[in-house]
């Protein structure tokens, strides 16, 4: 084998950095949508590499549902400071008030889909023309067909039938006034690639990704953190379990997995041997309808 050879993580990294640089060169006001989860933390790491020794030339934007894990918020603030990026936080709570939206009800009332309103308002407020997201094509079948540069109309809607052909490594980011582009630099990474890269690059993560004691309730086989955002019934039993999170979303719609894995190596070996997909195991919202993601994307979701 030649001495000039990139392994798969090197190749993925190079592809993602290339995409980041295209975004910075082609758009006037990009923004990185930051959720506090491992995928967006990886995005920030790649962005830092793409523009080194300069700073990341766009802000980090967090659409805050108000249902976040405190550990993730703390990490978000630390990371923004660490990389010297501007952090913009817009709250779903405020959108609900301003627009007189109806709060979802129910046991695990999730503001997940309300985020779309706040996101579209934020895009409008700052006139962002490109929003960078950490979605991966292996996550879900609607994602599997989305382009890396995904053009959205003025309502933020994705139209799977009108996607631009995306050939070689050439990205066409030209848009009309009012349109914007969602860009997904880690489209070709899988969950395991992300974890292996985090290990290789020694990227810091919020503590909830590792085993810790947490009060949870059991719901249809999934463990949900007992928080102020979840309505407890009389029949709910609060248990203390050793858990970690495999994805970090809202406390109302992200389930924990029982685990003793307290290091990256242990987490990775658990993920390799798991028999359940990331979304299947940890996302409560995706199970509602089989086409849930496709519908949300068409409405302007990430």
Partner 1 sequence: MDLLRFITAGSVDDGKSTLIGRLLYDSKNILIDQMEALEKSTKNRADGSVDLALLTDGLRAEREQGITIDVAYRYFTTPKRKFIIADAPGHVQYTRNMITGASNANLIIVLIDARLGVVEQTRRHSIIASLLKIPHVVVAINKMDLVEYSQDVFNNIVIDYAEVARQLGLKDVTYIPISALNGDNIVDRSSNIDWYDGKPLLEFLEDVQTDSDINLTDARFQVQLVIRPQTEELHDYRGYAGKILSGVYKKGDAVKVLPAGIFTTISKLEVGGEEVDEVFAPQAAVIQLSDDIDISRGDSIVKADDSPTIANEIEVLLCWLDEKPLQAGNKYYIQHNSRLVRSVVRSIEYKLDVNSLQQQQVEGQVKLNEVVRATIKTSSPLVYDSYADINVNGSAVLIDETSNSTVAAVLFQ
Chain positions 106 to 145 lying near partner 1, rule: CB under 8 A, are 137-138, 141-142, 144-145
Among 100, 102, 176, 202, binds partner 1 (CB under 8 A): 176
Per the rule left: phi > 0, alpha: psi between -120 and 50, beta: everything else, 239 is: beta
What minimum distance in Å lies between the beta carbon of 236 and partner 1?
A: 24
Chain positions 64 to 103 lying near partner 1, rule: CB under 8 A, are none
Secondary structure class of 187 (helix, strand, coil): coil
60-64 sheet: strands from edge to edge: 87-91, 60-64, 30-33, 130-132, 180-183, 149-152
Among 18, 97, 99, 107, binds partner 1 (CB under 8 A): 18
163 binds partner 1 (CB under 8 A): yes
Contacts of 197 (CB under 8 A, 6+ apart): 9, 12, 13, 42, 189, 203
- Please identify, using beta-carbon distances, which residue of 64 and 146 lies nearer to partner 1: 146
274 binds partner 1 (CB under 8 A): yes
227 binds partner 1 (CB under 8 A): no
Find where tokens 């790649």 sit. 46
202 binds partner 1 (CB under 8 A): no
275 binds partner 1 (CB under 8 A): yes
CA nearest neighbour of 72 among 204, 199, 219, 196 = 204
Instruction: Quickly count: other Cβ atoms within 10 Å of residue 284's Cβ.
Output: 19
Among 28, 100, 105, 167, binds partner 1 (CB under 8 A): 167
Distance CA 4, CA 141 (A): 35
161 binds partner 1 (CB under 8 A): yes
Distance CA 200, CA 202 (A): 6
288 binds partner 1 (CB under 8 A): no
169 binds partner 1 (CB under 8 A): yes
50 binds partner 1 (CB under 8 A): yes
* Contact (CB, 8 A) for 244 and 267: yes
Determine if the peptide bond prior to 53 is cis (ω within 30°).
yes
28 binds partner 1 (CB under 8 A): no
Burial of 213 (0-12, 13-18, 19+ CB in 10 A): exposed
Secondary structure class of 119 (helix, strand, coil): helix
Q: Which stretch binds partner 1 (CB under 8 A): 29-37, 48-56, 107-115, 123-131?
A: 48-56
Q: Which stretch binds partner 1 (CB under 8 A): 118-126, 161-169, 208-216, 233-241?
A: 161-169
Kindly list the residues in this chain that would bind partner 1 in the complex (CB under 8 A).
1-2, 4-8, 10-15, 17-18, 21-22, 24-25, 48-55, 137-138, 141-142, 144-145, 151, 160-161, 163-170, 172, 174-176, 187-188, 190, 192-193, 274-277, 280-281, 290-291, 294
């Amino acid at each position: 084998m030649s001495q000039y050879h990139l392994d798969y993580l090197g190749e993925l990294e190079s592809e993602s950095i290339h995409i980041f640089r295209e975004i910075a060169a082609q758009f006037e006001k990009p923004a990185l949508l930051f959720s506090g989860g491992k995928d967006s933390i990886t995005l920030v790491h790649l962005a830092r590499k793409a523009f080194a020794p300069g700073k990341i030339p766009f802000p980090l934007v967090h659409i805050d549902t108000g249902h976040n894990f405190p550990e993730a918020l703390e990490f978000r603030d630390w990371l923004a400071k660490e990389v010297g990026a501007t952090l913009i936080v817009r709250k779903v709570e405020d959108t609900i008030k301003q627009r007189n939206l109806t709060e979802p009800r129910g046991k695990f009332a999730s503001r997940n889909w309300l985020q779309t309103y706040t996101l579209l308002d934020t895009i409008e407020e700052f006139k962002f023309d490109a929003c960078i997201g950490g979605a991966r094509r292996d996550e879900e079948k609607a994602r599997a067909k989305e382009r890396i540069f995904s053009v959205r109309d003025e309502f933020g809607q994705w139209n799977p039938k009108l996607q631009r052909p995306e050939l070689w490594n050439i990205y066409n980011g030209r848009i009309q006034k009012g349109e914007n582009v969602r860009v997904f630099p880690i489209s070709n990474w899988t969950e395991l690639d992300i974890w292996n890269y985090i290990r290789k690059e020694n990227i810091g993560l919020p503590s909830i990704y590792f085993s810790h004691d947490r009060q949870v309730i059991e719901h249809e086989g999934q463990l949900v953190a007992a928080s102020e955002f979840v309505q407890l019934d009389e029949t709910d039993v609060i248990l203390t379990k050793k858990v970690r999170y495999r994805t970090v979303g809202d406390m109302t719609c992200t389930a924990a997995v029982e685990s003793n894995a307290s290091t990256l190596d242990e987490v990775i070996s658990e993920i390799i041997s798991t028999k359940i997909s990331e979304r299947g195991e940890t996302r409560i919202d995706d199970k509602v309808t089989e086409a849930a993601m496709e519908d949300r994307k068409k409405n302007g979701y990430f």
